[in-house]
DNA sequence: CTTGAAACAAAAGAGAA
DNA sequence: TTCTCTTTTGTTTCAAG
């Protein structure tokens, strides 16, 4: 199922991705629509799964001391079963907030958030001892977040349009 | 300014970080409060900057073909000025959606989203030619997103509580 | 797409536990 | 204080044109 999206839909998605709690009437104003058609577009986007969720972005820095760590992981074996086992383990650790399978000689990149380095090391040790197929890992500790913003949807779609 | 947060505040933050558009009355029900005190807590959390923003999470995969790429970057020089120059360049590229300064022998990790590999390479070439101090870079192409979820706030706060 | 009406939520205040 | 209850205003949702 393919959904026809016009520039207004893209703009709605773009606005909601930085102001997710904007009222539907204000959103309608911003895209030059009256509330009803705008409401129908939003519902359409939600039902089609283009809007996966709405989330509050919590400022962890103000909430508590913590560390953010990226871990590049290489597995011992590259059989399908090994990937499955590792990925299942990953889902079980709440400290691992993101994980991507990647190419380039290594297998996974994970983003980990814990209270301190010790709890990170404890988690890694546990992973190593739990025969989950972890062969090597490399730790990058985040010292500063330089940038974070949602993708520019119009820019991403331009190549398709012309 | 330090804000006293009780377990109910944490629960509110946790719920909103996965259901950002939940009505305040429903949220009140979930944390066993009536709407007014709950409303005041939310306002308090927003004003204190603990809730930085509300965002719709857009499913890029359903929106358009694209590639997600992680880039590990090493700079030529480690003078403060060099970092400043590079970070300023990073903010100018909308394709770079996240960037972290990291320890571990390299300097930055960036997450890039573009329409295809070619536009990624064009961006890198531009960065290399624009004397922004980029010495070496390593490209990890994402083949699959394994996991993505907001941090478990209660877990992160436990070490502070006991 | 517009109008418009009924249901619902947000915001702020008065006062009780 | 901190919550409950009430009121006003504005928003959401949807039917009908």
Query: Does the pLDDT of residue B1 top 60, yes or no?
Result: no
- Mean pLDDT for chain A? 95
SS3 A25: helix
CA distances from A100 to A70, A108, A156 (A): 11, 6, 21
Distance of CA B142 to the CA centre of its chain: 17
Query: Cα–Cα distance between A43 and A22 in angstroms, integer?
Result: 15
Query: Does the pLDDT of residue A108 top 70, yes or no?
Result: yes
Going from N- to C-terminal start, the domains of chain A cover 7-56, 60-141
Residues A137 and A73: beta-carbon distance below 8 Å: yes
Instruction: List B residues 47-106 in contact with A (Cβ-Cβ < 8 A).
Output: 48-60, 62-66, 68, 70, 72, 87, 90-91, 94-104, 106
Encode pLDDT of A71-83 as tens digits: 999 999 999 999 9
Query: Cα–Cα distance between A121 and A115 in angstroms, integer?
Result: 11
Query: Does the pLDDT of residue B151 top 60, yes or no?
Result: yes
Task: Kindly determine whether residue B146 and residue A53, on different chains, have CB atoms separated by under 8 Å.
Answer: no
Query: Cα–Cα distance between B58 and B107 in angstroms, integer?
Result: 30
Chain A partners within 8 Å of B58 (Cβ):
13, 16-17, 50-52, 150-151, 153
Task: Provide the CA A29 to C1' C5 distance, Å, integer.
Answer: 21
Interchain contact B117–A (C-beta under 8 A): no
Encode pLDDT of B99-111 as tens digits: 999 998 999 999 9
The token pair at B84 is 């400043």
Written out in words, the top-level CATH class of the domain with range A60-141 is alpha beta
**pTM for the complete prediction?**
0.94
Average pLDDT over residues A55-63: 97
**Residue whose token pair is 């393919």:** A2
Encode pLDDT of A141-153 as tens digits: 999 999 999 999 9
* Span of A52-56, A157-161, B51-55 with lowest mean pLDDT: A157-161
- pLDDT for A158 equals 79
CATH of domain B7-56: 1.10.10.10
Residue A3 pLDDT grade (very low, low, confident, very high; cuts 50, 70, 90): confident
């Amino acid at each position: 199922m393919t959904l026809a999206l016009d520039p207004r839909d893209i703009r709605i998605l773009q606005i909601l991705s930085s102001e997710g709690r904007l009222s539907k009437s204000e959103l309608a104003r911003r895209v030059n629509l009256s509330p009803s058609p705008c409401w129908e577009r939003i519902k359409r986007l939600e039902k089609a799964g283009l809007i996966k969720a709405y989330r509050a972005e919590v400022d962890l820095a103000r909430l508590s001391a913590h560390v953010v760590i990226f871990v590049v992981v290489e597995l011992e074996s590259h059989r399908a079963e090994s990937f499955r086992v590792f990925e299942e383990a990953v889902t079980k650790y709440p400290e691992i907030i993101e994980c991507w399978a990647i190419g380039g000689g290594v297998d996974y990149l994970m983003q980990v958030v814990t209270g301190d380095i010790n709890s990170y090391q404890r988690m890694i040790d546990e992973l190593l001892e739990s025969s989950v197929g972890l062969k090597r890992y490399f730790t990058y500790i985040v010292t500063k977040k330089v940038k974070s913003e949602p993708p520019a949807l119009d820019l991403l779609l331009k190549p398709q349009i012309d």
